[in-house]
Amino acid sequence: MLRIGLFLATNLAIMLLISIVFQVLGIEGILAANGVDLNIQALLLMSGLIGFSGSIISLLMSKWMAKRSMGVHIIDNPSNSTESWLLATVQRQAEKAGIGMPEVGIFDSPTPNAFATGANKNSALVAVSSGLLQQMDRGEVEAVLGHEVSHVSNGDMVTLTLIQGVVNTFVIFFSRILGHFVDRVLFKNERGMGMGYFLGSIVGQIVFSLLANIIVAWFSRQREFRADSGGADLAGRSKMIGALRRLQYAQAPQPLPNEFAAFGISGGGLKELFSTHPPLEVRIRALESGR
């Protein structure tokens, strides 16, 4: 119920904020003076509907997409001691974190990585790569699992879905505004939606999407610090630091698909503004300082 309430409140707040800003700046009057027959309230509603629908549908499909795109093998009946240990470790951590037992899986990748996903913290998925199991000792793997279980218990998938819905709304709304402005004010089109509208909307959506990705990435980086702290609580601070140090020495992990990147364990790249993870050295320093 709390998450549904947060979703509705966020959606309402963003549309209300945009309406106030447009009224204060007098943009509606400028558009009307140039013959723009644009219904701001209807556009806000449409933008919010499209923006949040896309992010919510992605969340609901996240487990299914993960299993298919990453080739995740779900451990139903453990076939060896490693799989038995993985299940027992995740079960112990899930009980300590107060969530339902996630599905546990392994995906084939030579580089160490892991992710968590799912629309509900009581029916999530935690998956690790074969490379992670091969290159880390059990204490380090335990810390990585704790990091992912913390993502689940913190509700990070839902939180970032709501944030994505907000920025989606901004992107759609302002790109359509730009399209109308270009079509009516610059191209002087007086009827319907001409070429200027489509060109302006496309360019606006590309530019605003890039800016929106910076915002989403920033929020994701903050959630990573929380997940590191949670992993330290579940597995031990020294193990969590050891796991991050191991990643520093490992070959740079291949990026996860976009829909799972924010919930992985790997460090950020050179383009820090667009990175979903803080640099590993920054995460290690945060843990060493007790944050």
Which position has the higher pLDDT, 133 or 275? 133
- The confidence band for 52, taking pLDDT boundaries of 50, 70 and 90, is confident
Which band of pLDDT confidence, cut at 50, 70 and 90, is reported for residue 4?
A: very low
Rounded to an integer, the average pLDDT of 26-40 is 62
Separation of alpha carbons 105 and 220, rounded Å? 23
125 beta partners: 103, 117
Say what the pTM is. 0.80
Q: Of residues 251 and 94, which shows the higher confidence score?
A: 94
Name the amino acid, one letter, at 91.
Q
Mean pLDDT calculated for residue range 103-114: 93
Q: Supply the pLDDT for residue 75.
A: 95
Measured distance CA(61)–CA(11) in Å, rounded: 21
Distances (CA, A) of 194 to 182, 183, 187, 206, 220: 10, 6, 9, 19, 38
Interval 49-67 mean pLDDT? 85
CA distance 110 to 252: 11
pLDDT tens figures, 257-277 = 655 555 566 554 446 777 888
- For the question of residue 148 being annotated catalytic, the response is yes
Over the range 158-189, which residues count as b (16 or more CB within 10 Å of their CB) and which as e?
bbbbbbbbbbbbbbbbbbbbbbbbbbbbeeeb
- Whether the CB-CB separation of 95 and 62 falls below 8 Å is answered with no
Active-site residue (options: 83, 140, 148, 259): 148
Q: At what angle do helices 2-25 and 156-181 cross, to 10 degrees?
A: 20
Terminus-to-terminus CA distance in the chain, angstroms?
30
pLDDT at 146: 97
Contact 103, 125 (CB under 8 A): yes
93-to-87, 119, 138, 223 alpha-carbon distances in Å: 10, 19, 14, 19
* Token pair belonging to 133: 């199991």
- Using one digit for the tens of pLDDT, what is the confidence trace for 179-213? 888 888 888 877 767 788 889 888 988 899 888 88
The average pLDDT across 230-252 equals 89
What percentage of the chain exceeds 90 in pLDDT?
40
